[in-house]
Chains A and B, each alone.
Chain A
Amino acid sequence: DVKVTQSSRYLVKRTGEKVFLECVQDMDHENMFWYRQDPGLGLRLIYFSYDVKMKEKGDIPEGYSVSREKKERFSLILESASTNQTSMYLCASRHDTSGRSSYNEQFFGPGTRLTVL
């Protein structure tokens, strides 16, 4: 069975802290994604990676960075957390059979609800 796991379901941090959100997939997928979900705004793409050590900015990358050292793991980093980064963070992965463009669906993790005080 397909599985995407995220390191924490709930996380509370203080303004200015460095925050790491971890995501692991066990499906050998090439593509991995980080989204944030906010009421009324849907899901917005922060960063994605189509291969190890490769990354591309999504629609809202400001204040975030990512790391993909191994194929199965994709980390989202908040260098200095701020209150406006309080949100639900969702990781996803996708098998890519034909390079960077694919019609395959994404598989999502359960989400991490981050609160920054």
Chain B
Amino acid sequence: AQSVAQPEDQVNVAEGNPLTVKCTYSVSGNPYLFWYVQYPNRGLQFLLKYITGDNLVKGSYGFEAEFNKSQTSFHLKKPSALVSDSALYFCAVRDERGNKLTFGTGTQLKVEL
């Protein structure tokens, strides 16, 4: 069975500082990995995905994520956080042969002035 772990319920960062939101995964085959963001009272918005190729993936709003196969991780990063980045972030994984996407429990990001 596939699974995703987001070990931090909340991450606090000062505006202008770099941010990292952690994600580790478990699948039986090659993974397809995704990050989504949810703003208050809204649905999820796609940020970026890793399918194959370059381990550093760039996405929307200046976010990027690094795929590390040996550590089975896909951490979300941004060089300089903005207050408007405050939201709930979800990591998700799907096995390349599967059809179901498994989500983590989410990490609340809070960026303060």
Contact = CB atoms under 8 A, between A and B. Distances in A.
Interface of A: 4, 9, 31, 33, 35, 40-45, 48, 50, 56, 58-59, 90, 92, 100-103, 105-111
B40 to A, nearest CB: 11
B12 to A, nearest CB: 18
Contacts, number: 57
B101 A45 contact: yes
A40 B105 contact: yes
A41 B96 contact: no
A43 B90 contact: yes
A101 B98 contact: yes
B96 A42 contact: no
Given A42-B90, A90-B43, A111-B43, A103 B103 contact: no
A109 B43 contact: yes
Dominant SS among interface residues on chain B? loop
A108 B45 contact: yes
B103 A43 contact: yes
Contacts of A108: 36, 43-45
Interface of B: 9, 32, 34, 36, 41-46, 49, 51, 90, 94, 96-101, 103-106
A42 B45 CA distance: 15
A103 B96 contact: yes
Given A103-B51, A111-B43, A58 B105 contact: no
A41 B43 contact: no
B49 A45 contact: no
A100 B42 contact: no
Nearest to A94: B101
B108 to A, nearest CB: 10
B34 A105 contact: yes
B46 A107 contact: yes
B63 to A, nearest CB: 14
B99 A50 contact: yes
B46 A105 contact: yes
Nearest to B50: A103
